[in-house]
Structure 1
Amino acid sequence: MKINDATILIVDDNDGTRRLLRMLLRDLGVREVIACACVEDGLKALHGNTVDLIFTDWEMIGETGMELADSVRRADHERISRIPIIMMTAYGEEWRVKAARDAGITDFMLKPFSPVQIEAKLRTALLNVREFVNTDSYRGPDRRRGQRAYDGPDRRAANGDDTTTTQQQLADASGTLDRLRSDFERFLCEAGTMIAAELRSASSHPSEARACFERIFQLAHNLKGQGSTFGYPLVTEIADELCRFLRARTAPGERDLALVAGYASALDTVSRNRITGDGGQIGQRIIDRLRGFAAA
């Protein structure tokens, strides 16, 4: 099918990532994009719309992208069970790739992603039809990536592809990515101040500390999702460590407030110095120090 005829579903609990991917897909000519913040809403969208492709994040609060994939592949409705699924993640360990493949994922997209990469994933998933395997132990596209004939109805193969993504569309998408990266950098710059304000509130009003920590957790979760997307994987690691720390603190005390301030300081360091990538030795020292906080 033509890319500009496709309906794409995004399932990601990060507002910034949903916004980015939705805008990039539209810049690339996708006709309709549906964005959902959780697996439950994503499954409802699948039953209410004719979706051609799913982009989902691996790690989400609540049900994960892997659980979404399992629900899709086990769906009674054949149209839904065969929908291509592209799994997005900041982590490319071999075990993740294998687990995603075994769960029936069509393709894997590592962050940060570019318009060219997204366009290539769209073409591969929508135009290169792989035989669908349905056995007791596995449901999904043939894990051997060879092209095979398929006699059943499939919207992806119905019309062929007589359109080409133009250089202007790719340029528009690249411009969108640059603008949203600037928005993220401003958000990162403000994050330390926002955390500091929550910590002052928690210190002044101990009864509200739990609520303050929950807001800091949500902020950290958003940073975690967007950091790698915009080329700041060290931010993702710091925010991930902060989320882990906060999950383990059910009754925050003064010492916990001081330790959270250390995470905020680490984010400030990355922001002030524009540390992209993993930060090398400096980045590793920061992560080692923060992991020491969690173990304390």
Structure 2
Amino acid sequence: MDLHFRALVVDDDAYSRAICTTLLRQIGAVDVVQAAGGAEAILSLLEAPFGLVLMDWYMPDINGAGVMQVLRDARLGQRSMTPVILMTAYANRENLQRAKLLGVNDVISKPFSQEQLRRIVQRVLRPAAEEYAVV
């Protein structure tokens, strides 16, 4: 499956954003926008559509849960369906359940490899690609 998508990376750690941006470009992202926190992510999501959001759960301004509540609001139309992969170093049962309840598509535990990220991105983007496939 060829991956060509526009991505938003949301993390309050600049080093993590840089690493994720590099990894996403290596697996097919044609454009990667970075946001240093939840508020910046929400503004980016309102400005332009993305094919994928890769987001940290814990951020100082608006956390991942807050971003998800805004993003999954039906008033955003098609953008409310944007696939989201949650990155976390704290993948406990409570966080995972809350993330799924808020509409996160998948979760990846930090630290992760390029191959782990590629597999999850493929899994998350496959349903959208199949929906628009020409038969």
Superposition TM-score, scaled by structure 1 size? 0.43
In the alignment, is the contact (CA less than 8 A) between 1:52 and 1:156 conserved in 2?
no
Report the counterpart of residue 11 of structure 1 in structure 2. Answer: 10
In the alignment, is the contact (CA less than 8 A) between 2:9 and 2:35 conserved in 1?
yes
Report the counterpart of residue 93 of structure 1 in structure 2. Answer: 92
Q: Which has the larger radius of gyration?
A: 1
Report the counterpart of residue 260 of structure 1 in structure 2. Answer: none
Report the counterpart of residue 158 of structure 1 in structure 2. Answer: 132
Gaps of at least 5 residues in structure 1 are 130-154, 161-296
Q: Which segment drifts farther, 72-81 or 57-66? A: 72-81
How many percent of aligned residue pairs carry the same amino acid? 27
Report the counterpart of residue 56 of structure 1 in structure 2. Answer: 55
Report the counterpart of residue 46 of structure 1 in structure 2. Answer: 45
Q: Deviations over 1:238-287 (max 9, x none)?
A: xxxxxxxxxxxxxxxxxxxxxxxxxxxxxxxxxxxxxxxxxxxxxxxxxx
Report the counterpart of residue 20 of structure 1 in structure 2. Answer: 19
Equivalent position amino acid for 1:15 in 2: A
Equivalent position amino acid for 1:125 in 2: V
The CA deviation at 1:123 is 0.6
Greater relative CO, 1 or 2 (CA 8 Å, sep 6+): 2
Q: Deviations over 1:106-147 (max 9, x none)?
A: 111111111111101111111135xxxxxxxxxxxxxxxxxx
Q: How many residues align?
A: 134
In the alignment, is the contact (CA less than 8 A) between 2:10 and 2:36 conserved in 1?
yes
Other structure's SS at 2:28 match: coil
In the alignment, is the contact (CA less than 8 A) between 1:88 and 1:110 conserved in 2?
yes
The CA deviation at 1:92 is 1.5
Please give the alpha-carbon distance, in whole angstroms, between the structure 2 residues aligned to 1:52 and 1:156: 14
Report the counterpart of residue 105 of structure 1 in structure 2. Answer: 104
In the alignment, is the contact (CA less than 8 A) between 1:24 and 1:115 conserved in 2?
yes
In the alignment, is the contact (CA less than 8 A) between 1:7 and 1:32 conserved in 2?
yes
Q: Deviations over 1:61-100 (max 9, x none)?
A: 1110111011100151221111111111001211111111
Within a 5 Å distance, the mapping from 1:161-176 to structure 2 comes to none
In the alignment, is the contact (CA less than 8 A) between 2:21 and 2:32 conserved in 1?
yes
Superposition TM-score, scaled by structure 2 size? 0.91
Please give the alpha-carbon distance, in whole angstroms, between the structure 2 residues aligned to 1:69 and 1:156: 24
